[in-house]
Structure 1
Amino acid sequence: MLPRNELATAQIPGGDMLTLISHGRDFIIMLGRDELMGTRMQFSEEQLARLTLERLDKPAPRVLIGGYGMGFTYRAALTALPDGGGEVVVAEVVEDILDWAKGPLAELTGDSLDDPRGEVVIADVAALVDDAVDGTTAPYDAILLDVDNGPDGIVREGNERLYTRTGIARLRDALTVGGLLAVWSAAPDHKFTRRLMDSGMDVDVQTVRARPNNKGPHHTIWFARRVR
């Protein structure tokens, strides 16, 4: 049996400890004793970006991603941007995550952090949403949330507000008309689906597998479009 080797740890502000583990050729980020993400099950996080960009009819979309993690969603979004351009902004609250991306995970990261179309900001995604709502920055054509294990799987204290009726309204108002809010979850949540629908957005719920070979657990992605 291959050993699990601890490579680094990092504290989530207002949350638990993250641990970066190597397991043979694979890498895993642990949250306490739970596996938060890993290189063997990255497909659904990549689909979060790909399926969102497929649904946008924008020549140069402005995209906000909540949570860098191992960069799966970020790199997939850069790859899925149309030839006309666009930009991808990532909000990440754990600064050590970027050190991991440039260090133990450098082979996985490649040159994505040097892509001029992308930017990783050390900030709470809610703060960037507030800036867009308040007019400090331009609104987004898509907002992708992968900061928790889902609306009922909060990783960091304070993130609960993102999934409330008030939080959903803020996310909606940070979008352009026709823009998409996409939320990743490890499990379905019918109450969250209802809150999205009650916000006045058009809602589509998709189930995707964690691995591209149609294996691994089922994950949920909500796509909510601002219609006015």
Structure 2
Amino acid sequence: MAKFEQIGTASIPGQGGELRLLQRNQEFSIRIAGKTGELMNTRLHGSEDALAELACERIAARPEARVLIGGLGMGFTLAAALRTLGADAEAVVAELVPGVVEWNRGALGAAAGYPLNDPRTRVSLGDVGEVLRREPGGFDAIMLDVDNGPEGLTRKENDRLYSPEGLAVAQEALRPDGVLAVWSAGRDAGFSERLRRVGFLVEEVTVRAHRPGKGAKHCIWLAF
């Protein structure tokens, strides 16, 4: 079997860490330099698809629906959102690492069908928390796939996003009857309670990394 070869690196703002992009034939992997395992792989994106589908199906019929995706990753959540939303929708993607955007405009983008090229897509470089703070009432749905979930892995500053204060900001950024969807590699009972304390009604959904019904179990919180 062919081995992965590194084809790119990208600095993570804030802590000086680095992401690595690797390729093996048509398969891509993103990893954190100096750590074992991988953050994401183009073969396993079922839960990333589900994050967008579960959120966007609830608001897709709204005219000019507007959604925010925190974390571009490999583009699968964005692609699934665009498939679910109407032609008059707008999908804003907040990505902290400029290199990840460049990778998705290059060879990596083919895996998800180059969703950055869709005219409904708008990219915002920087912290998704800043987008939330400057756009109260701006979004029908907010999808957060930042780091490994509520517990920061690549960047400790991400913990603020999932704090009670950060969740309150996300709540303020939602339009009436909007939905906040949060992806995580695993369950976290404390996070469910945190969402409830902020005032959300919470639904916790278990999804598989590789659909249908295969791969690791990931968690998606839907908060209303």
TM alignment of 1:186-225, pairs within 5 A: 186-225=185-224
Q: Which residue of 1 aligns with 2:160?
A: 161
Secondary structure at the residue paired with 1:210? Answer: strand
Task: State the distance in 2 between where 1:158 and 1:152 align.
Answer: 10
Give structure 1 regions of 4+ aligned residues with deviation exceeding 6 angstroms: none
Q: Which residue of 1 aligns with 2:2?
A: 2
Q: Determine what percentage of the aligned residue pairs are the same residue.
A: 45
Of 110, 120, 131, the match for 1:117: 120
TM alignment of 1:31-46, pairs within 5 A: 31-32=32-33, 33=35, 34-46=37-49
Q: Which residue of 2 aligns with 1:86?
A: 89
Secondary structure at the residue paired with 2:168? Answer: helix
Q: Deviations over 1:41-88 (max 9, x none)?
A: 1110011001111122523311000011111111111111035x2110
TM-score under structure 1 normalisation? 0.91
Of 69, 73, 79, the match for 1:75: 79
Task: State the distance in 2 between where 1:5 and 1:154 align.
Answer: 24
Secondary structure at the residue paired with 1:221? Answer: strand
Q: Which amino acid aligns with 1:171?
A: A
Task: State the distance in 1 between where 2:164 and 2:12 align.
Answer: 25
TM-score under structure 2 normalisation? 0.93
Q: Which amino acid aligns with 1:101?
A: N
Report the RMSD for the aligned CA atoms in angstroms: 1.5
Q: Which residue of 1 aligns with 2:70?
A: 66
> Which of 147-156 and 90-99 deviates more?
147-156
Determine if the alignment matches structure 1 residue 170 to structure 2 residue 169: yes
Q: Which amino acid aligns with 2:150?
A: P
Q: Which residue of 1 aligns with 2:110?
A: 107
For residue 206 of structure 1, report the CA deviation from its aligned partner.
Answer: 0.1
Q: Which amino acid aligns with 1:190?
A: A
Secondary structure at the residue paired with 2:167? Answer: helix
Q: 1:106 to 1:148 in 2, by over 3 A?
A: closer
Unaligned 5+ residue runs, structure 1? Answer: none
Task: State the distance in 1 between where 2:10 and 2:53 align.
Answer: 29
Contact 1:205-1:221 at 8 Å conserved across structures:
yes
For residue 106 of structure 1, report the CA deviation from its aligned partner.
Answer: 3.9
Q: Which amino acid aligns with 2:80?
A: A
For residue 173 of structure 1, report the CA deviation from its aligned partner.
Answer: 0.7
Secondary structure at the residue paired with 1:201? Answer: coil
Q: Deviations over 1:125-165 (max 9, x none)?
A: 001001113xxxx5111110001111124322311111111
Contact 1:182-1:222 at 8 Å conserved across structures:
yes
> Which of 188-197 and 100-109 deviates more?
100-109
Q: Which amino acid aligns with 1:185?
A: S
Task: State the distance in 2 between where 1:190 and 1:126 align.
Answer: 23
Figure out how many residues of one structure are paired with residues of the other and give that number. Answer: 220
Secondary structure at the residue paired with 1:79? Answer: helix
Q: 1:195 to 1:106 in 2, by over 3 A?
A: closer
Contact 2:67-2:91 at 8 Å conserved across structures:
yes
Unaligned 5+ residue runs, structure 2? Answer: none
Q: Which amino acid aligns with 1:163?
A: Y
